[in-house]
Amino acid sequence: MKYRIAAILVVSGICIAPLSAIAQSPEEIRSEIQKHGAQIEALNKEIATYEKQLSVVGAQRQTLQNTLDQLNLQRKKLVAQIDVTKSRVRTLQLEIQSLGEDIGDKESSIKVEEAGIAQTLRRLHVADRQSLVVGVLASEELTDVWTDMDASQSIHTALQANIEELSKQKESLTETKNATEEKRAALVKEQKKLVGEQGSLDATRRAQNELLEQTKSQESTYQQILRDKQAAKASFEAALSDLNAQYQRAVDPSSIPAAGKGILRWPLDNVQVTQYFGNTAFARSGAYNGNGHNGVDFRAAIGTPIKAALTGTVIGAGDTGDPNNGGVKGCYSFGKWVMMRHANGLSTMYAHLSQINVSRGQSVSTGAIIGYSGATGYATGPHLHFGVYLSEVTEIVKLSQATNRVSACANATMPVPRNLSGYLNPIDYL
């Protein structure tokens, strides 16, 4: 059994060796589990240190060096998290191996008990074939009869004891097998987590490389990019809110799905809202062309896994700033975005991603990773823009098809509702 339990996990190029390659004693297994526990504790302390440093750096003025420092810290934190998950995977493998050995021992004990019961039954069968009268007549002494009767009773008692012990052994075996299945399920969960963390690390590296390529390590270039984003943002928002008459379509209020908590799942594991939907303080300051914020912003360091809020189909994914991906160079709008359509009449939008993991037409289940957070588009800092749209009036088109305004994003492909009422408050459904 113990040689069937172990396995090789290959996760995004990460190979975890099989435990059964070298047989280990129970003492060795316990020692290695303790060793991994100590490693996990030390790594968690290291992660906590990086989190404190990220908080300090994040509060500083936005500069190229500051952004690079954040990315470097985030990468170090992710590497430590990956090491923690590897240790947890190894610990679970060891526990599964130990349970496998317990199962083998219990199965052997059950065979012994079953053999004992079989022997007892055979002896009872022989004794039961001879009646009491025949036994008395065949015995030279009456005491021999009582002795045989006592022996038969002893056999019955032994049989009952064997049956009870067998029942206990089988119950214990069932519990151990159930514990093994739970450990295996936990192992699969940690394996998926390892995939996500590796993806986060890759997204962070890619974002850092793109930043260095864009700025050529020049602070002045970085600051100019920020100014360009701010200017392009205002132009884009004006174009998005000034829809032409040919494109507009009235919203039937009865078609809007009823609000309710828990209809959608939060797209992040750790939720921290930085800006709500609608007429926020930032919107009142003159942002969004006076139409309010059309989504919710969540704080999310570059490389944070973004998850589908509900099972659905990807109806579009692109990059508004990439001419090769449905965008236009210099269009600082949604950046890398994904839109999903759901069966309940809602569509969800995920913007400013650093990496997209899904493609148009793909079916995605609730909670699956669709990409990783970033600061692409008009984001001046890493975050997730999460929007909820009314599917009935939302299309993915070139902005020029829908607006009266001229914009740098005119030929960029993106989701556009045919009526401003097509933007729904995400908080009403989360």
pLDDT recorded at residue 16:
47
Give the mean pLDDT of 392-398.
94
Question: Mean pLDDT over residues 393-398, rounded?
Answer: 94
Q: Which residue has the higher pLDDT, 167 or 14?
A: 167
Amino acid at 279: N
366-372-377-381 Cα dihedral, nearest 10 degrees:
120
In the predicted model, what is the mean pLDDT of the chain?
Answer: 83
Average pLDDT over residues 346-368: 96
Q: Which residue has the higher pLDDT, 9 or 131?
A: 131
**What are the structural domain ranges in the chain?**
2-202, 220-428
Residue 124's pLDDT is 65
pLDDT score, position 294: 86
Could you say which architecture CATH assigns to the domain 220-428? Distorted Sandwich (2.70)
Between the CA of residue 352 and those of 141, 251, 262, 319, 321, what are the distances in Å? Answer: 100, 28, 24, 9, 11
64-128 and 219-241 helices, crossing angle to 10°: 80
- Is the pLDDT score of 10 beyond 50? no
Are 320 and 412 in contact by the 8 Å Cβ rule? The answer is yes
Nearest to 262 by CA among 388, 38, 428: 428
**Is residue 335 scored above 80 in pLDDT?**
yes
Is residue 275 within 8 Å of residue 293, measured between CB atoms? yes
SS3 of 179, please? helix
Are the beta carbons of 322 and 170 closer than 8 angstroms?
A: no
Name the strand (E) or helix (H) holding 20: none
Q: Which amino acid is at 248?
A: Q
Assign domain 2-202 one CATH number from 1.10.12, 1.10.287, 1.25.40, 1.10.3470. 1.10.287
Range 26-38 average pLDDT? 89
Round to whole Å and give the CA distance between 241 and 235: 10
Given pLDDT bands bounded at 50, 70 and 90, which one contains residue 62? Answer: confident
> Does position 212 have pLDDT exceeding 70, yes or no?
yes
For residue 406, pLDDT over 80 is answered with yes
Candidates 6, 27, 29, 33; CA nearest to 91 is: 33
pLDDT at 19: 46
Does residue 258 have a pLDDT over 90? yes
Please tell me whether the overall predicted TM-score, pTM, comes out greater than 0.85 for this model: no
In whole angstroms, give the CA distance from residue 347 to residue 388.
Answer: 6
pLDDT digits (tens, 9 = 90+) for 173-203: 788 788 888 888 888 888 888 888 999 999 9
pLDDT at 226 (0 to 100): 87
Distance CA 376, CA 351 (A): 8
Q: How far is CA 336 from the centre of its chain?
A: 21
Contact (Cβ atoms closer than 8 angstroms) between residue 333 and residue 361: no
